[in-house]
Amino acid sequence: MSDEVLVSVDDGIMVVTINRPKAKNSVNLAVAKGIAAAMDELDSNDEIRAAILTGADNTFCAGMDLKAFVSGEMPVLPGRGFAGLVEAPPKKPLIAAVEGFALAGGFELAITCDLVVTSREAKFGIPEAKRGLVAAAGGLMRLPKQIPPRIAMEMAMTGDFIDAQRAYELGLVNRVVDAGSSVEAAKALAKSIAANGPMAVIGSKRIINESADWTEENMWGNQQAITDPIFSSEDAIEGATAFAEKRAPVWKGK
């Protein structure tokens, strides 16, 4: 993994940092490969319960590296899409910790994450139309599902930014915190998640994400297929036993 993506793991929480501050943490192919590798490690390592995606030097991500784009480089991986993430998010929880700007592809990375913690000073937007481009890394598809469609339409067609408070009012972000504290706030949120049963967390995320496409006829059966292995797991017994014994559960993830 290159030094353009920094990865650390502490107490079951992974922090993935886009480390191109001189380029406003814009995404090139090396960054895409680094994020993809981190997501593979997140999902394959049972010791890691959740991850945080952030950017170095008080900027989240300014989107695709346009200089690299002009030279013919695309920061897209087959089957994974832009930044090695937007078409194949991890099965485990992923939290965006946003400082500064989350624009264009950077904004699309943020809304690909399951939860978003943002600095009060942050700005969000999909300004691609101002450059003759479109927000094709999920912005035009995910955003109308996360905020009112007419607001999403306005953001896409004008390319104008919104601030953190407006993003919170729209339900686009979970928490707004003081400048410079988004990663620590995201870690606190991740620790709350990591304290829970890992199978239950992964299953809950899957049901919420997939059920939007389920019909009345198949939704209960689809849910049962996901929840049955959880209810019959060792962790389910451990959770109930720990509650009765008034102690913290010891999860096995099975």
Confidence band of 66 (pLDDT split at 50, 70, 90): confident
Q: Which pLDDT score is estimated for 191?
A: 97
47 in active site: no
List, for residues 164-200, the tens digit of each pLDDT value: 999 999 999 999 999 999 999 999 999 999 999 999 9
Q: Is the pLDDT of residue 124 over 70?
A: yes
**How would residue 70 be classed by pLDDT, with cut points 50, 70 and 90?**
confident
CA pair distance 83, 108, nearest whole angstrom: 10
Which DSSP string do the residues of the chain spell out, in sequence order? --TTEEEEEETTEEEEEE--GGGTT-B-HHHHHHHHHHHHHHHH-TT--EEEEEESTT--B--B-HHHHHTT---EETTTEETTTTTS--SS-EEEEE-SEEETHHHHHHHHSSEEEEETT-EEE-GGGGGT---TTTHHHHHHHHS-HHHHHHHHHH---EEHHHHHHTTS-SEEE-TT-HHHHHHHHHHHHHTS-HHHHHHHHHHHHHGGG--TTTHHHHHHHHHHHHHTSHHHHHHHHHHHTTS-------
Looking at every residue in the chain, the average pLDDT score rounds to 95
Amino acid at 210: E
Q: Which residues of 23-36 are buried (b: 16+ CB within 10 A; e: fewer)?
A: bbbbbbbbbbbbbb
The active-site residue, picked from 87, 108, 154, 210, is: 108
**The model's pTM:** 0.94
- Asked if pLDDT for residue 68 goes beyond 80, the answer is no
Choosing from 4, 87, 121, 128, which is the catalytic residue? 128
Indicate whether 1 pLDDT > 70.
no
Q: Is 108 a catalytic residue?
A: yes
Reported as a single tens digit per residue, the pLDDT across 143-161 is 999 999 999 999 999 999 9
User: Span 72-96, mean pLDDT?
Assistant: 95
pLDDT digits (tens, 9 = 90+) for 17-65: 999 999 999 999 999 999 999 999 999 999 999 999 999 999 999 999 8
- Which residues does 216 contact at the CB level (< 8 Å), separation at least 6? none
Q: What are the residues whose beta carbons fall under 8 Å from the beta carbon of 158, sequence distance 6 or more?
A: 129
- For residue 69, the model assigns a pLDDT of 76
Report yes or no: 95 and 201 within 8 Å, Cβ to Cβ: no
- Residue 73: how many other CB atoms lie within 10 Å: 15
